[in-house]
Amino acid sequence: MSRIVVKVGSNVLTRADGKPNVTNMSALVDQIAALRAHGHEVILVSSGAVACGRGAITPSRQLDSVASRQLYSSIGQIRLINLYNELFGGYGIVVGQVLTQKDNFASRDSYLNQRACMFTMLDNGVVPVVNENDTASLTELMFTDNDELSGLIATMMDADTLVILSNVDGIYTGAPSDPGSQLIACVEPGKDLSAFVVAAKSGFGRGGMGTKCGIARKVSDEGVAVIIARGDRPRVLVDVIEHPDSVPHTLFEPSPRPLSTLKRWIAHSGSFAKGVVHVNAHAAEALRNDRAVSLLPVGVTAVEGEWEEGDIVTVLDADGVRVAMGRASVDSATARATIGTHGHKPLIHYDYLYLE
Ligand code: GLU
């Protein structure tokens, strides 16, 4: 049995006129039901709320982008979830809605709370249908897109595989529309992809291939296989899991060295870091070369920001390049007082350090 997170984009779930694409949605539900019948656990991360709401109402006056996102998502989300409920109901499968936002991943307590909730759902045979809480998210604190959200969910839930269903077959060596471009079947851990990615945005969704690639790399580095495939191919979801040779896709192979849940959380908390710790060349080298070393005050050259013990901080080298992130074992005042000195406890203990 494996645990699979499936992310489906707005372009697959909605039609150009902003109505739900019932054909694609019911094909998706059929396949999730088939995977469950074969013993897999499935979590669905579904976009499409905003796109679907847009087709349902014409606002009485011109709205700014925040107000229209809130209005459309409030309407579209229930349309989507009602359809999922009905379609899964046809298989006797119970669905539950999880609406979340970035701050729920910022503190460890809310992260673990959310994680526990979703495990309870899975233990009870419920399919979690996850989306960003677009009515409440603050613009500056939104997920880049649901690709980012699905990556967070996949690592948080210790998934074996994240499948991102998009409107292209995967990552190409050039623009997908260019006949000379080739689909990259497999991306090994550490392979440099920057030359290939065409950061073209598509249709209604917020994401593009650039973000997909970045997320896929990060999530696979954390031990989860990531598959990018085209969502409107018949049986694509079942095939990429059970007969991968029969369907075009890009696989990001999982890194053989999965991180602990704590380190995964730290790895994804970059945007919540409360402070910055600058280290000298010697400390940066030690951190980069020895994967089991703690950050000691002696290697610290400067400290920025105010934080409490337990908050996340970013570690930068002398050139300002990020070396690591971690959970500080002392507050910022103590960190400042011990800059460059010996004989104090580590500023970040190895167990709480996530190296780039
Ligand atoms: N949460 C948005 C929605 O459901 C989608 C975000 C995205 O495009 O990835 O409409």
Give the C-alpha separation, 219 to 196, whole Å: 19
> Which of the four pLDDT bands, split at 50, 70 and 90, describes residue 199?
very low
Backbone angles phi, psi at 86, to 5 degrees: -65, -45
The minimum-distance atom of ligand 1 relative to the CA of 47 is 4
Give yes or no: residues 39 and 127 share one domain.
Answer: yes
Give the C-alpha separation, 28 to 3, whole Å: 17
Q: What is the CATH number of the domain that holds 190?
A: 3.40.1160.10
Question: Quick one: residue 125, left, alpha or beta (phi over 0 = left, psi -120 to 50 = alpha)?
Answer: left
Task: Report which protein residue has its CA nearest ligand 1's atom 5.
Answer: 47
Give yes or no: residues 289 and 254 share one domain.
Answer: no
Give the C-alpha separation, 251 to 161, whole Å: 10
Domain that holds residue 343: 273-355
Q: Is 134 in the pocket of ligand 1 (CB under 6 A)?
A: yes
The H-assigned helical ranges of 146-260 are 146-156, 209-221, 236-242
CA dihedral 8, 10, 16, 21 (to 10 degrees): 50
Q: How far is the CA of 10 from the centre of ligand 1 (A)?
A: 7
Give yes or no: residues 137 and 66 share one domain.
Answer: yes
182 found inside a domain: yes
pLDDT (mean) for 331-335: 94
242 found inside a domain: yes
Model confidence, pTM: 0.78
Q: What is the CATH number of the domain that holds 292?
A: 2.30.130.10
Which has the minimum average pLDDT: 30-34, 62-66, 91-95, 126-130? Answer: 62-66
Give yes or no: residues 157 and 181 share one domain.
Answer: yes
Q: Is 208 in the pocket of ligand 1 (CB under 6 A)?
A: no
Give yes or no: residues 155 and 67 share one domain.
Answer: yes
The minimum-distance atom of ligand 1 relative to the CA of 145 is 9
Q: Is 47 in the pocket of ligand 1 (CB under 6 A)?
A: yes
268 found inside a domain: no
- Looking at the chain, the whole-number percentage of residues with pLDDT higher than 90 is 58
Give the C-alpha separation, 102 to 227, whole Å: 23
Place of tokens 């005050």: 297
Give yes or no: residues 181 and 73 share one domain.
Answer: yes
Give yes or no: residues 247 and 345 share one domain.
Answer: no
Q: Which residues contact 9 (CB under 8 A, 6 or more apart)?
A: 47, 48, 146, 164, 165, 166, 167, 202, 205, 207, 231
Give yes or no: residues 280 and 236 share one domain.
Answer: no
Give the end of a domain, one of 231, 262, 293.
Answer: 262
pLDDT (mean) for 129-141: 86
Coil/strand/helix, residue 113: helix
Q: Which residues contact 298 (CB under 8 A, 6 or more apart)?
A: 283, 340, 341, 342
Give yes or no: residues 257 and 285 share one domain.
Answer: no
Give yes or no: residues 296 and 258 share one domain.
Answer: no
Give the end of a domain, one of 210, 235, 262.
Answer: 262
Give yes or no: residues 240 and 279 share one domain.
Answer: no
Q: Give the chain's domain count.
A: 2
In one-letter notation, the amino acid at residue 4 is I
Evaluate if residue 209 carries a pLDDT over 80: no
Q: How far is the CA of 50 from the centre of ligand 1 (A)?
A: 6
Give the C-alpha separation, 97 to 139, whole Å: 22
267 found inside a domain: no
Give yes or no: residues 277 and 255 share one domain.
Answer: no
Place of tokens 């995977």: 35
What totals of helices (H) and strands (E) does the chain contain, helices first?
11, 13
Coil/strand/helix, residue 139: helix
